[in-house]
């Protein structure tokens, strides 16, 4: 299985080599098709790893409804579905921000449901949710007049990513070491979304774009590896 690990390393390197290229093309409208292809490809890498892992587990268990690795980690088909939705959203966001945002909202619903399925509900997550949702809403409320009706969508989105964060952070307490990578991923994805929101309401720079996209693609890749590593590498 060492060749699989080498593929994972090579893919992660390719992902982050593509990121600066995308940043360079981001504001050049004439390169839109290339831009959409590169951005979609970066998320496709994470989706591919998650899907392959699920198919490996399914081959062993014989069912998509009983996805448990040999080491005992439980997973669910919602993970590659969520990554696929976000992959499409990445492409759509290049041409229609509102529709892309709604698709990312659907992706977060998949992630939150996935976290609850594999780790169960922890009452402490309610506290984390309230703090996160209140902080995000309070920060962006200063831009209510500027964003108009879009502020409602931002508020709903803030609530949803707070659910992702609160459910993800509880996983190390329920599924132990298997919950560490999804928890890290939930933090990276939510920080990325918050930074994207900040970029929408204030002037962006190459550095700010690189930061939020770096967090985002890292979060997607770590989430995919959280199931790929135990399923394929047997760790």
Q: Is the pLDDT of residue 115 over 50?
A: yes
Q: How confident is the model at residue 109 (pLDDT cuts 50, 70, 90)?
A: very high
Q: Helices 2-25 and 32-61: crossing angle, nearest 10°? A: 160
The DSSP secondary structure of 120-143, one letter per residue, reads ---THHHHHHHHHHHHHHHHHGGG
pLDDT of 8: 55
173: CB partners within 8 A, 6+ apart? 122, 124, 179
Between 1-5, 58-62, 102-106, 225-229, the lowest mean confidence (pLDDT) is in 1-5
Q: Do 198 and 150 form a contact (C-beta atoms < 8 A)?
A: no
**What separation in angstroms does the CA of 129 have from each of 23, 135, 223?**
32, 10, 20
C-beta atoms surrounding 91 within 10 Å: 18
pLDDT tens, residue by residue, 163-212: 999 999 999 999 999 999 999 999 999 999 999 888 877 777 777 787 88
- Pick 86 or 232 by higher pLDDT: 86
User: pTM for the whole thing?
Assistant: 0.89
Read off the tokens for 8.
């994972």
pLDDT tens, residue by residue, 69-82: 888 889 999 999 99
**What separation in angstroms does the CA of 224 have from each of 102, 111, 183?**
22, 11, 12
Q: Is the pLDDT of residue 2 over 50?
A: no
Distance, in Å, from the CA atom of 152 to the CA atom of 101, rounded to the nearest integer, reads 12
């Amino acid at each position: 299985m060492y060749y699989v690990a080498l593929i994972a390393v090579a893919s992660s390197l390719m992902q982050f080599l593509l990121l600066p290229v995308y940043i360079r093309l981001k504001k050049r409208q004439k390169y839109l098709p290339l831009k959409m292809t590169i951005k979609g490809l970066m998320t496709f890498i994470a989706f591919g790893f998650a899907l392959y892992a699920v198919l490996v587990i399914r081959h062993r268990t014989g069912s998509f409804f009983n996805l448990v690795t040999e080491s005992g980690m439980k997973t669910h088909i919602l993970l590659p579905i969520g990554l696929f939705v976000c992959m499409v959203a990445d492409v759509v966001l290049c041409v229609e921000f509102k529709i892309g945002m709604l698709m990312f909202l659907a992706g977060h619903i998949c992630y939150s449901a996935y976290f609850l399925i594999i780790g169960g509900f922890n009452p402490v997550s309610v506290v984390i949710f309230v703090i996160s949702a209140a902080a995000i809403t309070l920060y962006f409320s200063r831009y209510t007049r500027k964003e108009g009706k879009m502020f409602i969508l931002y508020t709903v989105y803030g609530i949803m990513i707070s659910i992702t964060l609160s459910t993800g952070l509880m996983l190390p307490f329920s599924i132990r070491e298997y919950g560490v990578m999804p928890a890290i991923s939930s933090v990276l994805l939510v920080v990325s979304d918050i930074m994207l929101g900040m970029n929408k309401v204030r002037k962006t720079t190459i550095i700010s774009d690189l930061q939020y996209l770096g967090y985002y693609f890292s979060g997607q890749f770590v989430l995919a590896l959280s199931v790929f590593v135990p399923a394929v590498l047997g760790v």
